[in-house]
Amino acid sequence: MNNKIDNETKDRIQQWLGAEYDRDTVAKVQNLVDSNEETELIDAFYKELAFGTGGLRGIMGVGSNRINKYTIGKATQGLANYLKSQFPAQEIKVAVGYDCRNNSQQLGHLVADVFSANGIHVYLFKELRPTPMLSFAVRHFGCQGGVMLTASHNPKEYNGYKAYWKDGGQLVAPHDKNVIDEVNAIRSVNDIKFERDQTKITLVDEDFDKRYIEENKKLSIHPEAVSAQKDLKIIFSPIHGTGIIVPKVLSAWGFTNVQVVEEQMTPDGNFPTVVYPNPEEEEAMTMAKQKGQELDADLVMATDPDADRVGLAVKNHKGEMQLLNGNQIGSLLIYYVLSSKKAKHELRDNDFIVKTIVTSNLMADIGHSFGVKHYDTLTGFKFIGEVMTKLEGKENYLVGGEESYGFLVGDLVRDKDAVNACAFIAEMAAYFKTQGKTLFDVLLELYESYGFYQEKLISLTKKGKAGADEIKQMMANLRATPPQLLGGVNVKEIRDYSTAIAHILTDGTKTTMDLPKSDVLQFITVDGDVISARPSGTEPKIKFYCSVKEDLGSRDAYEHVLAKLEDKVKRIMADIVKD
């Protein structure tokens, strides 16, 4: 092997050429070696896959840093070992689900095999279902854990493994690190139990859908508005994913005029009609948005492959279908829930909302105006779920969201839920339509009341080991020489979440932040602009977030203020994003 490959990587490659791996795997690894595929060998073997903000996620293929039956088997054996150590006197139960991705069903059954072989009872979904339904199943069946096979919105070559704890939330500290320790303690494939015990497996069929739909429908705030606007014109696309359940849910809530994008209704892990199956991307929303424009729809919604994120387009002030970003969608949902509950005298002193640190402060402003407490968390909805679990029985969660198009109304699950969000977005649109308003009208009202917030996200993709090293160096450079000016505006505060220290530059004071440590940097300007930099926990990317704000005054000034804020964002991003 080439001398550019370090010894640790070489050792992993040799291990995968051993007799404990099946012939097909060995042949594929040997072919990479014989062909001297140096970059591929390094990327596939330079490390073990580790849990990030969304669990285990990577490109499918052979290797310790790839998604395959051995890395999935090893992760499951480690999780099984940990569950048995934590619940020694109980019958352990887990729920296992999978989405539309290539190999997801096979990997889901593999996970069920390993758990059952370890004496753990498995509730295995008979067919593909959304990620939030897996979270719901963990809670419904009283499981100690769960696993969802999905790579969320990643490209088609990816798959992944989301691990859940007994509260229905994704693994957080200390369980995430403890499971990794258990996984790393497995030195041989022979330590993984692959032989299925059929007596330990219960299939979850479509009857379970009814319970999930019924429980969500109980959360409805204004069913009378749905009745009044039942013919609200809704266009929906699951983008070839598990969101195919959404039309059924909308129908159960009372909506009778839901039209789908037929070309995208068949689950398909190759995602043939989009470049990238992510409703955050304008391209992925193109077909749905075009149909909405043609049919003069009230709403256009689309979900990602595992239906935990939702994209939205609404009629703007010009009558055109305009895409809203995650900050705008989340702000509208929070305003709808809080204003509705206040009008019905249902707000309580212990109510709260949650957002992440890179999500718009407009959400917090709305909460404060209604006297509702808000919590900030690290990026990743698992941290929102963690707050919900910690405060359960003490405080009352209402709604939460993150800028990456993940939202949850009510506490039925502990993960973002696009199925739940689609139902509430439709109900919200129906409610405001009874008042003669579109959702865009309401958004402008929020900007008039709280200030015009404009946000932008720039993601730089850096693949493989070289890319990971480059991202690490970019963060190191920002820490070594932090910007003093961004977009011509002085930086007032630097928050380094890796040290949990906030540094006020104007007077030199430093304070400790009450959040777990994470590789995130934030720069706050004297104007109140918030600029964040963080490596993604689930993709080979470094992400830069920018949020700026200015008084709108009146909706007539919308175009002028928008142009002004967009220019400011452009100048700020030019100063901090160095590709």
Nearest to 417 by CA among 450, 381, 448, 444: 381
What is the rounded distance in angstroms from the CA atom of residue 321 to the CA atom of residue 313? 6
* Per-residue model confidence as pLDDT tens digits over 299-331: 999 999 999 999 999 999 999 999 999 999 999
pLDDT band at 540 (very low <50, low <70, confident <90, very high): confident
Pair 98, 203: CB distance under 8 Å: no
* Per-residue model confidence as pLDDT tens digits over 193-232: 999 999 999 999 999 999 999 999 999 999 999 999 999 9
Chain centre to alpha carbon of residue 99 = 15
Tell me the sheet residues that pair with 503: 494, 510
- Burial label, 480 (beta-carbon count in 10 A; 0-12, 13-18, 19+): exposed
Give residue for tokens 């490596």: 535
- Say whether 7 sits in a helix, a strand or coil: helix
* Structural domains in the chain, sorted by start: 1-40 (no CATH), 47-205 (3.40.120.10), 212-450 (3.40.120.10), 452-576 (3.30.310)
What are the residue numbers of the active site? 152
- Say whether 230 sits in a helix, a strand or coil: coil
pLDDT at 3: 67
* Per-residue model confidence as pLDDT tens digits over 80-113: 999 999 999 999 999 999 999 999 999 999 999 9
Pair 100, 156: CB distance under 8 Å: no
* Per-residue model confidence as pLDDT tens digits over 284-307: 999 999 999 999 999 999 999 999
pLDDT band at 457 (very low <50, low <70, confident <90, very high): very high
pTM (2 decimals)?
Answer: 0.96
Q: Can you tell me the mean pLDDT for 265-271?
A: 98
